[in-house]
Amino acid sequence: MATLLFLVLALACAARTSHGAQLLLTTNNTLGGERVRGTPMTMKLTTDENYLTVTFSAPYIKPTGGSWDSDWDRVHLFLADDSHKLSELRFTETGPLLRLYWAPYNMIKTLSPGEDAKFEGSTTVDRMRLTGTAKVHRSLLPPRITLVNAASVHPVNASTTELQYDNLYSITNYGIALPDLMVLARYKAIGARFLFDNDDSYSEHWKRND
């Protein structure tokens, strides 16, 4: 019930005008269904005629002892269409990556800022918060996006390397090595013309090499 209520409230943080759209996302719950303690990850999506801009602030926790991997603190944004093609923005302290998937876990392309003039972004760590921004041209996104998910991954606390997954939905898939962030049936639904009011087809970026 709490998760359902959150999704309803999240929809109230969406708006569209003739100039574009705005969508606010907050990961208040973990994949295991627990309420996030402290300040959760917040993310803002805005669009104009051609670009999606993403800004966020998320927890950043670096364990005080033992091994540590900068990839443990990261933020994800998933945007999918009804044919299950996805674009994933993945942020770590080293910067953002953009990944295109033909279907969940079937990745066809990875881009870094600078590899394509239509994708730029950066991240910063400040006082236990990971913040960042990215700007992505709509040709690097699925046309008619209808599904959204966002997640923040970080150690549970500074004394452990156990990771906590804060996410827009609560579910744990024990059939894979890591909790599943690509359960499209649990993604938040938006209107096909909400982010971009156009009739784009798939760009050259979405062509597979097989």
* Alpha carbons 160 and 86: distance in angstroms, whole number: 32
Prediction pTM value: 0.89
* Alpha carbons 194 and 15: distance in angstroms, whole number: 9
| Tens digit of each residue's pLDDT (9 = 90 or more) over 31-62 | 888 899 889 999 999 999 999 999 999 999 88
Query: Cβ of 49: how many Cβ atoms within 10 Å?
Result: 10
Phi/psi of residue 139, nearest 5 degrees? -70, -15
CA dihedral defined by 62, 65, 67, 68, rounded to 10 degrees? 10
Which of 169, 113, 106 has the alpha carbon at shortest distance from 136? Answer: 113
| Tens digit of each residue's pLDDT (9 = 90 or more) over 15-26 | 877 778 999 999
Do residues 153 and 74 touch, judged by C-beta distance below 8 A? yes
